[in-house]
Protein backbone atom coordinates (compact mmCIF):
# COMPACT_ATOMS: atom_id res chain seq x y z
CA UNK A 1 0.00 0.00 0.00
CA UNK A 2 1.24 3.44 -0.89
CA UNK A 3 -0.34 6.76 -0.17
CA UNK A 4 -0.32 9.39 -2.87
CA UNK A 5 -1.45 12.98 -2.57
CA UNK A 6 -3.29 13.63 -5.80
CA UNK A 7 -4.96 16.95 -6.48
CA UNK A 8 -5.00 17.70 -2.74
CA UNK A 9 -6.45 14.35 -1.65
CA UNK A 10 -4.63 11.42 -0.10
CA UNK A 11 -5.33 8.18 -1.92
CA UNK A 12 -4.01 4.71 -1.24
CA UNK A 13 -3.05 2.35 -4.02
CA UNK A 14 -2.20 -1.32 -3.67
CA UNK A 15 0.40 -1.66 -6.40
CA UNK A 16 4.13 -2.30 -6.54
CA UNK A 17 6.09 0.81 -5.43
CA UNK A 18 7.93 0.68 -8.76
CA UNK A 19 4.70 1.24 -10.68
CA UNK A 20 4.86 4.49 -12.64
CA UNK A 21 2.55 7.25 -11.40
CA UNK A 22 0.87 7.15 -14.82
CA UNK A 23 -0.49 3.65 -14.34
CA UNK A 24 -1.49 4.19 -10.72
CA UNK A 25 -3.51 7.15 -11.95
CA UNK A 26 -5.00 5.53 -15.02
CA UNK A 27 -5.53 1.88 -14.17
CA UNK A 28 -5.75 1.88 -10.38
CA UNK A 29 -7.55 5.15 -9.70
CA UNK A 30 -9.40 5.52 -13.00
CA UNK A 31 -8.06 9.02 -13.63
CA UNK A 32 -7.68 8.78 -17.39
CA UNK A 33 -7.01 12.43 -18.26
CA UNK A 34 -3.27 11.76 -18.08
CA UNK A 35 -2.20 9.93 -21.22
CA UNK A 36 0.15 7.11 -22.16
CA UNK A 37 2.17 7.95 -25.27
CA UNK A 38 5.62 6.39 -25.19
CA UNK A 39 6.43 4.98 -21.75
CA UNK A 40 9.94 6.39 -22.01
CA UNK A 41 9.77 10.12 -21.21
CA UNK A 42 10.11 10.97 -24.89
CA UNK A 43 6.72 12.44 -25.84
CA UNK A 44 5.34 14.26 -22.79
CA UNK A 45 1.75 12.97 -23.11
CA UNK A 46 1.86 11.79 -19.48
CA UNK A 47 3.04 15.09 -17.97
CA UNK A 48 1.81 15.84 -14.43
CA UNK A 49 3.15 18.18 -11.76
CA UNK A 50 5.08 16.83 -8.79
CA UNK A 51 5.35 19.59 -6.20
CA UNK A 52 4.72 22.02 -9.04
CA UNK A 53 7.40 20.65 -11.38
CA UNK A 54 6.38 19.12 -14.71
CA UNK A 55 7.45 15.49 -14.70
CA UNK A 56 6.91 12.49 -16.95
CA UNK A 57 4.61 10.22 -14.99
CA UNK A 58 5.30 7.24 -17.28
CA UNK A 59 8.83 6.84 -15.89
CA UNK A 60 8.38 8.22 -12.37
CA UNK A 61 7.57 5.47 -9.85
CA UNK A 62 4.99 6.12 -7.16
CA UNK A 63 7.75 5.65 -4.59
CA UNK A 64 9.20 8.97 -5.81
CA UNK A 65 5.94 10.74 -5.04
CA UNK A 66 5.66 9.90 -1.36
CA UNK A 67 5.26 13.02 0.71
CA UNK A 68 4.87 15.09 -2.44
CA UNK A 69 1.88 16.60 -4.17
CA UNK A 70 0.79 15.29 -7.57
CA UNK A 71 -1.34 17.60 -9.72
CA UNK A 72 -3.04 16.20 -12.81
CA UNK A 73 -4.87 17.75 -15.76
CA UNK A 74 -8.21 17.20 -14.00
CA UNK A 75 -7.31 19.63 -11.19
CA UNK A 76 -5.13 21.98 -13.21
CA UNK A 77 -8.05 22.88 -15.46
CA UNK A 78 -10.97 22.73 -13.03
CA UNK A 79 -10.93 26.49 -12.51
CA UNK A 80 -9.33 26.49 -9.06
CA UNK A 81 -5.89 27.40 -10.39
CA UNK A 82 -5.71 30.74 -12.26
CA UNK A 83 -2.77 29.72 -14.44
CA UNK A 84 -4.33 26.39 -15.39
CA UNK A 85 -7.62 28.14 -16.08
CA UNK A 86 -5.90 30.69 -18.33
CA UNK A 87 -4.14 27.94 -20.27
CA UNK A 88 -7.35 25.94 -20.60
CA UNK A 89 -9.22 29.01 -21.87
CA UNK A 90 -6.46 29.84 -24.35
CA UNK A 91 -6.44 26.25 -25.63
CA UNK A 92 -10.18 26.45 -26.35
CA UNK A 93 -9.99 29.96 -27.81
CA UNK A 94 -7.25 28.93 -30.24
CA UNK A 95 -8.98 25.61 -30.98
CA UNK A 96 -5.64 23.89 -30.44
CA UNK A 97 -6.66 20.25 -30.23
CA UNK A 98 -7.02 17.99 -33.22
CA UNK A 99 -7.08 14.40 -32.00
CA UNK A 100 -6.43 15.94 -28.58
CA UNK A 101 -4.61 12.96 -27.16
CA UNK A 102 -1.36 14.79 -26.35
CA UNK A 103 -3.05 17.96 -25.15
CA UNK A 104 -3.30 17.03 -21.46
CA UNK A 105 0.47 16.80 -21.44
CA UNK A 106 0.89 19.96 -23.50
CA UNK A 107 -1.33 21.88 -21.11
CA UNK A 108 0.50 20.56 -18.03
CA UNK A 109 3.84 21.58 -19.56
CA UNK A 110 2.51 25.02 -20.51
CA UNK A 111 1.02 25.55 -17.05
CA UNK A 112 4.24 24.60 -15.26
CA UNK A 113 6.20 26.86 -17.60
CA UNK A 114 3.97 29.90 -17.05
CA UNK A 115 4.07 29.35 -13.29
CA UNK A 116 7.86 29.28 -13.42
CA UNK A 117 8.07 32.77 -14.95
CA UNK A 118 8.77 35.76 -12.73
CA UNK A 119 5.60 37.73 -12.11
CA UNK A 120 4.73 39.97 -15.04
CA UNK A 121 7.34 38.44 -17.34
CA UNK A 122 6.16 37.70 -20.87
CA UNK A 123 7.94 34.75 -22.47
CA UNK A 124 9.77 35.14 -25.76
CA UNK A 125 8.85 32.90 -28.68
CA UNK A 126 12.08 30.98 -28.19
CA UNK A 127 11.32 30.45 -24.52
CA UNK A 128 7.88 29.08 -25.35
CA UNK A 129 9.37 26.69 -27.90
CA UNK A 130 12.01 25.57 -25.46
CA UNK A 131 9.47 24.96 -22.70
CA UNK A 132 7.19 22.97 -24.99
CA UNK A 133 9.88 21.04 -26.88
CA UNK A 134 9.42 17.92 -24.75
CA UNK A 135 5.84 17.41 -25.88
CA UNK A 136 5.14 15.72 -29.20
CA UNK A 137 1.95 16.37 -31.14
CA UNK A 138 1.69 14.01 -34.09
CA UNK A 139 -1.28 16.00 -35.43
CA UNK A 140 1.04 19.00 -35.72
CA UNK A 141 -0.88 21.57 -33.67
CA UNK A 142 2.31 23.45 -32.80
CA UNK A 143 1.35 26.78 -34.41
CA UNK A 144 -1.77 27.00 -32.27
CA UNK A 145 0.08 25.79 -29.17
CA UNK A 146 2.48 28.71 -29.60
CA UNK A 147 -0.40 31.14 -29.97
CA UNK A 148 -2.27 29.71 -27.00
CA UNK A 149 0.73 29.79 -24.63
CA UNK A 150 1.50 33.39 -25.59
CA UNK A 151 -2.14 34.34 -25.16
CA UNK A 152 -2.38 32.66 -21.75
CA UNK A 153 0.79 34.48 -20.65
CA UNK A 154 -0.69 37.82 -21.70
CA UNK A 155 -3.95 37.12 -19.91
CA UNK A 156 -2.10 36.48 -16.63
CA UNK A 157 -0.45 39.90 -16.41
Partner 1 sequence: MFNTTYSDESPRVLQHMLERERAGTGAALPRRSFLKVIGAGGLALGAFPHLTTAQGSAPAGGGLKPTEQPSAFVQIATNGEVTVTINRLEFGQGVETGLPMILAEELDADWSLVRSRNGSNDAAYQDPRFGMHITGGSSSIRNSYSQYRELGARARAMLLAAAATRWNVDVASLRTQAGTVIGAGGRKASYGELAEAAMALPVPEKVTLKDPKDFRIIGRATTRIDAKAKSCGQQGFGIDVRLPGQLTAVVARPPVFGAKLTSVDDAAARAVKGVKAVLRVPLDGGAEGVAVVADGYWQAKTGRDALKLAWDLSSVEKVDSDKQLIQYRELAARPGPRFLDADMAPLATAPRTLEAEFVVPYLAHAPMEPLNCTVKLSADRVELWVGTQFPGGDTVAIARVLGLKPEQVRINVQTAGGGFGRRGVPSSDFVVLACEVGKAARAAGFDVPVRTLWSREDDMKGGYYRPMHLHRARIGFDDKGKVLAWDHALVGQSILTGTVFGGRVKNAIDPTATEGMGAPYPFPMRLTVHHPKLNVPVLWWRSVGSTHTAFVMETLIDDIARATMQDPVTYRMQLFGDQSPRHRAALQLAVDRSGYGKAQLPPGRAWGVAVHESFASVVAYVVEASVSEGRPVLHRVTAGVHCNLVVNPRSVEAQVQGAAVMGLSMCLPGGAITLKDGVVQQSNFGDFVVPRITDMPEFAVHIVPSAEPPTGMGEPGLPALAPAFANAIAQLTGKPVRQMPFNLS
Q: Which residues bind partner 1 (CB under 8 A)?
A: 15-16, 19-20, 23, 26-28, 30, 32-40, 42-43, 45, 72-74, 77-78, 88, 91-93, 95-104, 107, 128-130, 132-146
Shortest spacing between CB 143 and partner 1, in angstroms: 5
Q: Is 109 within 8 Å of 48 (Cβ atoms)?
A: no
Least Cα distance to 83 among 115, 42, 53, 116 occurs for 115
Closest to partner 1 by CB, 34 vs 50, is 34
Shortest spacing between CB 54 and partner 1, in angstroms: 15
Strand 9-13 versus strand 2-6 pairing type:
antiparallel
Closest to partner 1 by CB, 120 vs 129, is 129
Shortest spacing between CB 27 and partner 1, in angstroms: 3
Closest to partner 1 by CB, 3 vs 133, is 133
Q: Is 109 within 8 Å of 45 (Cβ atoms)?
A: no
Amino acid sequence: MSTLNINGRNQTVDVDPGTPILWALRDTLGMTGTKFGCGAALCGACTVHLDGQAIRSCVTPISAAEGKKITTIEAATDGSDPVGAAVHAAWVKHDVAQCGYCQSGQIMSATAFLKSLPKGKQPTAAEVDSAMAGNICRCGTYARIRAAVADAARSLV
